[in-house]
Amino acid sequence: MRHSASSKLRPVLITVGIIIVIIAIALGVIIRQAQARYQSTIYTGNSNTKVNPTKPLSILLLGVDTGADGRIDKGNSDTIMVVTINPKMKKTVITSIPRDTLAEMVGDQDTNVQKLNAAYNIGGSKMAKASVSQLLNVPINYYATINMGGLKQIVNAVGGVTITSPLNVSFDHVTVTKGKHHLNGTQALAYTRMRYQDPRGDYGRQLRQQQVMRAVLTKLAQTKTYSRYDQLLTSLKGNLQTDLSFDDLVGLATHDRANMKHIQSTQVVGLPAWINTSSYQILTTKTLQQTSNRLRTQLGLNTQTLSNMETKLNAANTVYDGKTNLNYDTQGLDKITYTDNTK
């Protein structure tokens, strides 16, 4: 069994870039010259693939731990979110998944289970999409990755964001005290990266990441920020990659503007476990099933009984309870089979 290398520095949620671009298009402030720049520097997909903006879709948002502090390696996707958009329900749901979730790396030649955030490092966006899809039994239509270096530029491009911090945050020589603050890019980066001082751990950090996302979206809705969109698009160059084309975003903005007014956020919460001296989060079969049901319903799909590597491992670990017994066994993986129900 292989494990991802741990890092002292963790990324922030800066996957708001894709949503920012959608809103920018809806407001009609990106010109055709910007389209060419977007297609050449940000778009990674197949131009023959078109989004149908009248049907539900899902986007995997990944915050990659590169682009800051001199980090230029491929990186892990230490922020993982599934965004589901349903035009008929006029609702967008953002579901955060713990980065330390035990999951199978789908697409690897060998049976390989480790922390979910390693999927992007091992096999890029393709493996990340496949691994999350199988974990939750939902189709993942598109992806967007944005690195740590983009957050400072994005926040600065909208003139900073106003948030109310629930606690004192001190990280990377930046301190944000409990209460209301207007943060610049550097401050927002530190605010969303800190984890160890938060009694809620990574789950608390996810809430702060979602908080900054909402603050950016609110700022974009203000008329006085219209002139900043060119700076915003420039900030995304080299920091954002997605298989959603410029025309796809135009279609989404045109048909799904109401969805952006009804955004819900939720977290998938796991249980702690130790596997070969490494700390993991285990999603119980009940949690996996409930999450799968919610996402499939949001996507207009019938619910299905989940059967995958994770549910098989959960069934095999009869002693583990995530409370009094934290030891989780992943041995004998070659004897475990699963059924792919992601269609």
- Please identify every stretch of the chain with a pLDDT value under 70, giving residue numbers as ranges: 1-41, 47-49, 65-75, 148-149, 217-235, 250-262, 334-343
Burial code (b: 16+ CB inside 10 Å, e: under 16) for 237-271 equals eebbbbbbbbebbbbbbebbeebbeebebebbebb
Element (H, E) at 130: helix 118-136
Cα–Cα distance for residue pair 290/136, rounded to 1 Å: 9
225 DSSP assignment: G
* pLDDT score for 321: 96
Q: What is the mean pLDDT of the chain?
A: 79
* pLDDT score for 75: 64
Q: List, in order of start, the domains of the chain with CATH numbers.
A: 55-314 (3.40.630.190)
Q: What is the pLDDT of residues 245-273, one digit of tens each?
A: 877 776 665 565 566 666 788 889 999 99
Please report the sign of the dihedral spanned by the C-alpha atoms of residue 70, residue 170, residue 94, residue 9.
positive
Cα–Cα distance for residue pair 111/339, rounded to 1 Å: 15
SS3 of 144-182? EEEECHHHHHHHHHCCCEEEEECCCEEECCEEECCEEEE
Q: Are 78 and 65 in contact (CB under 8 A)?
A: yes
User: In this structure, what is the dihedral angle of CA atoms 119, 122, 125, 131, given to the nearest 10 degrees?
Assistant: -30
Cα–Cα distance for residue pair 229/80, rounded to 1 Å: 26
Residue 57: helix, strand or coil by DSSP?
Answer: strand
Closest CA to 177 of 190, 189, 167: 167
* pLDDT score for 69: 42
Q: What is the CA radius of gyration of the chain?
A: 20
Exposed, middle or buried: residue 176 (CB in 10 Å: 0-12, 13-18, 19+)?
buried
Closest CA to 195 of 102, 98, 273, 70: 98
* pLDDT score for 142: 92
Cα–Cα distance for residue pair 186/151, rounded to 1 Å: 8
The pTM of the whole model exceeds 0.85: no
Burial code (b: 16+ CB inside 10 Å, e: under 16) for 8-19 equals eebbbbbbbbbb
